[in-house]
Chains A and B, each alone.
Chain A
Amino acid sequence: MSAVFKFENWRATEPAPPSAETVHKALIQLERISKTYDSGENAVQALRGVDLKIDRGEFCSIIGPSGSGKSTLMHILGCLDSPTEGRYWLDGEDVAAMSGKALARIRNQKLGFVFQTFNLLPRATIWKNVELPLLYAGIDGDERKARALEALDRVGLKDRAKHRPNQLSGGQRQRVAIARALVNTPSLLLADEPTGNLDQKTGGDIIRLFEELAANNQTIILVTHDPGIAQRTHRRIQIVDGLIVDGEEME
């Protein structure tokens, strides 16, 4: 009896690893990812078996109508949420079954987030805001300051380091958020509707900044509902009803 259980346990925890080739080549590999939100009697299936592979240096967009599951996919890609089923390799690590603490470490070291609403800490200076990921990584003060300043330089806001977020315009705030996302040199930059709160021109500037970063081989995934912005990425991943319907690379 116990032998049977042991066997089954072994089956559940020791699946065949992906081939060395796929692990090394792809930054992101999703296999049959599904996510079910169990709200009482009626369970909602937000993702229904998504397969996706994204290589290093790709600049992609995820597009889809609201309720399509694109936010859920983005949360799983961003290690903010775990899939109900399926496997997810990020930069060679199997993150699908990780604990909250391990996911926090992954977010801290491999990911950078840019939000629609910037999500800067209002009472901290720009400098402190950009330092934040390094603070939780346990990096000491001097190095933190230097790296934060360097990241601010990359987005052209070095001279605003000592300002507070409310002293900056929306576009500038989003640049600060991008600096914060870049400060830990992440494997993947995830942006959720980064131009949603900005006017046309400022939004265009932000997208141009993403293009520059992509040109420097930064892997970027951009979640948007704006086809014009999606058009400017190198690959569009369209999601409808919890499934990817079109994820071809556009060359």
Chain B
Amino acid sequence: MLILEAIIDGVRDIKDHFGRTLLQLLGIILGAGSIVATFSLSVAGKEASMKFYRMTGGIERIWISDKETGKITLDAKALASKGLTYSDAVALRKEGKEIDLVSPVSESNMLVRYGNVEKSRNVMGVTPAYSPISFFHVEHGRFITDSDLTGAARVVVLGTTRAQEFFGSENPIGKTMTIDGSGYLVVGVMEEKYFSFDQKRNALRWMNRFIYIPITTMMTRKGQPLQQGKISFMHARMKDVKRHKEAVAEIERILFRQHGTKDYQVFSRVANLARNESENKMYDVTFMICGIISLLVGGIVIMNIQLASFNERVREIGTRKAVGATPMQIFFQMLTESVIVSVFGGLLGIVAGKFFTQGIALLTRNPAAITPSTAMTALIFAAGTGLIFGMYPAIRASRLNPIEALRTE
């Protein structure tokens, strides 16, 4: 009942002194605004990178490649090492308990031709596992199969950009194109990958530029025996993301046994993600501190104004006490007013935060989204500021001696 009256009083106060209230609230507005901006950018950024990972194989994907080493540090074993080979992939597949898929890739620049179009393009020799491990599927036709692999078949699957480049509006499936002088049957066209952080550039356009042939075919063309055939890199998929450390350790153990030296490197996306997150956290904390400092300043301003308006209203408080308001009632009434004013500031702050967020998103081309929970957080922080800094003026008002208050002019 009394709270309701206090809320009405608070709203009337804002209306009666709108300009003064706005000035009073500047700190709260900026504080709540930067909290909104921090959360929006950080939440949206995290979501975007998670989505990016999901579209390209998820965080369960592990990347394994040769390690670039300086010649000077090479020992005899390292010199003897040929780097990653197809047999490493077979060993991982056979012995790895933490992983369920292994996808070796052998890349090479080859001369690709269809009709009048002839270009030097990067061609990837892959296994059927490549598609599920990369979350990348064919749209038309089929992907490389196990029988393609065993038969070292001369079949090719194209990314959308390449299909467009060589075939234009023609349907490439069933056509034969020439790669390094030999004919390959086009059996599939991949789906188009699209993902954008800034709504402008496709961050996954490189995936649409791939040309796939069976890895066995690639080895044969290079004149390498399959088991010793060099591969460019491989992907592995861990069974359980929570056991990413064990998965990486297992892969390293198997590879070390194969090579006898550490001439390879293993990256897990989970570890990457954790590193990114701790970097992001630094930005978040910096922003957050700015927001909290603004709120503190805003709170001090609120306290000052409340004290000033308290001096203006000593007689009013005295009157209220004379007609029977208890100290507690006065305390709650004054406190409610501070909270109302600061909640109002918080609401304006959310609007300001929306502009901040859009501005920052525009400048840095980062994704941004204001979620209801973000707005709620800002509002709670603002209300809390009003509550804490309204405490002292409210206590002073509640302790006012009514006789002296009524005597004041």
Contacts and interface: CB of A to CB of B under 8 A. Distances in A.
A137 B406 CA distance: 21
Interface string B46-67: 0000000000000000000000
Given A113-B323, A119-B315, A141-B1, 17 more contacts: A100-B326, A100-B327, A104-B327, A105-B326, A107-B322, A108-B323, A108-B325, A113-B322, A115-B319, A119-B319, A121-B319, A123-B12, A132-B319, A133-B323, A135-B5, A136-B320, A138-B2
B128 interface: no
Interface in A159-207: 180, 184
A234 interface: no
Residue among A81, A132, A135 with the highest chain B CB neighbour number at 10 A: A135
Contact of A132 (B1, B16, B320, B327): B320
Given A101-B328, A135-B5, A180 B323 contact: yes
Nearest to A110: B324
B351 to A, nearest CB: 28
B384 interface: no
Contacts of A121: 316, 319
A11 B364 CA distance: 81
B280 to A, nearest CB: 49
21 contacts: A80-B403, A81-B403, A100-B326, A100-B327, A101-B326, A101-B328, A104-B321, A104-B324, A105-B324, A105-B326, A108-B323, A115-B319, A115-B322, A115-B406, A119-B318, A120-B319, A121-B319, A135-B5, A136-B324, A136-B329, A138-B1
Interface in B273-318: 315-316, 318
Interface string A204-244: 00000000000000000000000000000000000000000
B1 A140 contact: yes
Interface in A73-104: 75, 78, 80-81, 100-101, 104
Interface in A136-162: 136-138, 140-141
Contacts of A68: none
Nearest to A108: B324
B45 interface: no
Nearest to A118: B319
A80 B402 contact: yes
B403 A136 contact: no
A75 B403 contact: yes
Nearest to A129: B319
Interface of B: 1-2, 5, 12, 16, 315-316, 318-329, 402-403, 406
Residue among B2, B326, B327, B329 with the highest chain A CB neighbour number at 10 A: B326
Contacts of B318: 119
A2 B322 CA distance: 41
Nearest to B399: A100
Contacts of A119: 315, 318-319, 322, 406
B323 A107 contact: yes
A137 B322 CA distance: 13
Contacts of B321: 104, 107
A16 B277 CA distance: 77
A135 B323 CA distance: 10
Residue among A81, A122, A132, A136 with the highest chain B CB neighbour number at 10 A: A136
A109 interface: yes
Contact of A137 (B316, B324, B328): B324
A132 B324 CA distance: 9
Given A80-B403, A141-B1, A136 B327 contact: no
Contacts of B322: 78, 80, 107, 113, 115, 119
B2 A135 contact: yes
Main secondary structure of the interface of B (DSSP, over half): helix
A183 B322 CA distance: 14
Nearest to A71: B403
Nearest to B13: A123
Contacts of B5: 135
Contacts of A184: 324
Given A107-B322, A135-B2, A136-B320, A123 B329 contact: no
Interface in A5-55: none
A100 B321 CA distance: 10
Contacts of B16: 123
A75 B405 CA distance: 13
Nearest to A133: B323
B1 A133 contact: no
Q: Lowest 6 CB-CB distances: which A-B pairs, in order?
A: A108-B324, A104-B326, A133-B323, A119-B319, A107-B324, A136-B325
A115 B326 CA distance: 20
Contacts of B12: 123
A200 to B, nearest CB: 24
Nearest to B409: A117
A107 B325 CA distance: 9
Nearest to B318: A119
Residue among A81, A104, A120, A140 with the highest chain B CB neighbour number at 10 A: A104
Contact of A133 (B315, B316, B324, B328): B324
A136 B326 contact: yes
Contacts of B320: 132, 136
Contacts of B316: 121-122
Nearest to A78: B322
Contact of B327 (A81, A101, A135, A140): A101
B1 A135 contact: yes
B369 to A, nearest CB: 42
Contacts of A136: 2, 320, 323-326, 329
A145 to B, nearest CB: 13
A121 B13 CA distance: 13
B167 to A, nearest CB: 78
Nearest to B316: A121
A122 B315 CA distance: 11
B325 A104 contact: yes
A108 B319 CA distance: 12
A121 B320 CA distance: 9
B278 to A, nearest CB: 53
